[in-house]
Structure 1
Amino acid sequence: MTNEEQLPADHPVSPDEAEELIIDRSPDAESQPAALHDSIVSAKISELEELAAERTADLQRLQAEYANYKKRVDRDRALSRQGGVEAVVLDLLPVLDSVEAARSHDELTGGFKLVADELERIGAKYGLSVYGEVGDAFDPTIHEALMHVPLPDVEVTTVSAVMQKGVRLDDRVIRPARVGVAEPE
């Protein structure tokens, strides 16, 4: 097919015909040697391959940016949720202390006992735990020592009295246990 031949506008063009039309657009297409003809085709192919590689690299960059964005959003969402739970727990600490005081004086009975049990169950669901018992090994990262008492029968520093229980939210200490400490002489 030459430049003089014209195709109707609605005529479908096959890939081979399209290649001929592209290559034969030059005025002296018939006089071009085959080597020059092949070099033009290979130049067009390499140009298209470079363009495809560039677009592929752009898509890979966009995909990596999206993956990083999604990780960042998920992390921020988890931190925000954790901060909200922590704020509610801090507001409920006086209530939990009152429930613990009522329990230690055997005043936790009837309907109030059911409410206290449900409150503790919901707290545990969100990772809330209370710690600090007499006889525990003293750990300054989770205990706050309010008094020290030397005792002869103690081999390691231990908790001898608990003034206020400590509170953890998952693995994080919200409030250290306030304790009396027995130390070896």
Structure 2
Amino acid sequence: MSEFREDEAVVEGTEEFLPPASAGDTEKVEIVEEEAKEGVEEFLPPQTGADDAATEPAAETVEAEAATVDYEALVAERTADLQRVHAEYANYKKRVDRDRGLARQAGIEAVMTDMMPVLDAIQLAQQHDDLAEGSRMIIDELRKVTTKHGLVTFGEVGEEFNPVRHEALMQLPLDEPVQVVTISQVIQPGYELHGRVIRPARVAVANP
């Protein structure tokens, strides 16, 4: 311990005889310290850049999520609008098709109704065999047209009387007894269009 104290005393005594540090020496020391500091900073990672790099992706993620939510809501709204328009158009198309069919049916029925007197006259002429050969061909073509559009005649002697399809104008007994009210004579045939009666057959009936 005494040896170290003696050395310290020698050093302290020596410093008294050293010349004071000049201004140039002080500047050199400061330059060396600055260069050492800059050299150390070159090997340190940039703190500010790393923070920005970590912050920017997070901000972009938040913005992307917000944009995605808005886009999905917009798609859902537009899809609902499209489905509503599609349903309205489908209902409109069905209604138009139905109305068109009803209008067509009404037009055909009107024409067939106007033709009934002509068909009745043709039937009477056929019953009396009062038709020329050329007229028969025309009548056959006319009946093909009416049948094509769904017009069917009904009412035959011997059928059971049906008040929905037949109109009884008179009573006329048959040669043979009957068990139910039966058609004994067809005065005018009935007509139905696509299964719907548009004129009942006018008949005479025989009662049991």
* 1:154 and 2:188 correspond: no
Using the TM superposition, give the Cα deviation of residue 34 of structure 1 relative to its aligned residue in structure 2, in angstroms: 6.2
Does the 8 Å contact 2:173/2:184 carry over to 1?
A: no
Q: 1:62 aligns with which of 85, 108, 130?
A: 85
2:157 aligned partner = 134
* 1:116 and 2:139 correspond: yes
1:76 aligned partner = 99
The runs of 4+ residues in structure 1 deviating greater than 3 Å are: 29-40, 148-152
1:90 aligned partner = 113
SS at match of 2:207: strand
- Aligned-residue sequence identity (percent) comes to 53
* 1:165 and 2:189 correspond: yes
TM-score, length-scaled by structure 2: 0.68
Does the 8 Å contact 2:173/2:206 carry over to 1?
A: yes
Gaps of 5+ in 1: 1-28
SS at match of 1:70: helix
SS at match of 1:107: coil
The alignment's C-alpha RMSD in Å is: 2.3
Kindly name which structure, 1 or 2, has the bigger radius of gyration based on alpha carbons. Answer: 2
SS at match of 1:130: strand
Using the TM superposition, give the Cα deviation of residue 79 of structure 1 relative to its aligned residue in structure 2, in angstroms: 1.1
SS at match of 1:141: coil
SS at match of 2:130: coil
TM-score, length-scaled by structure 1: 0.75
What letter corresponds to residue 73 of structure 1 in structure 2?
A: V
Q: How many residues align?
A: 156
* 1:99 and 2:129 correspond: no
Does the 8 Å contact 2:183/2:203 carry over to 1?
A: yes
Gaps of 5+ in 2: 1-51
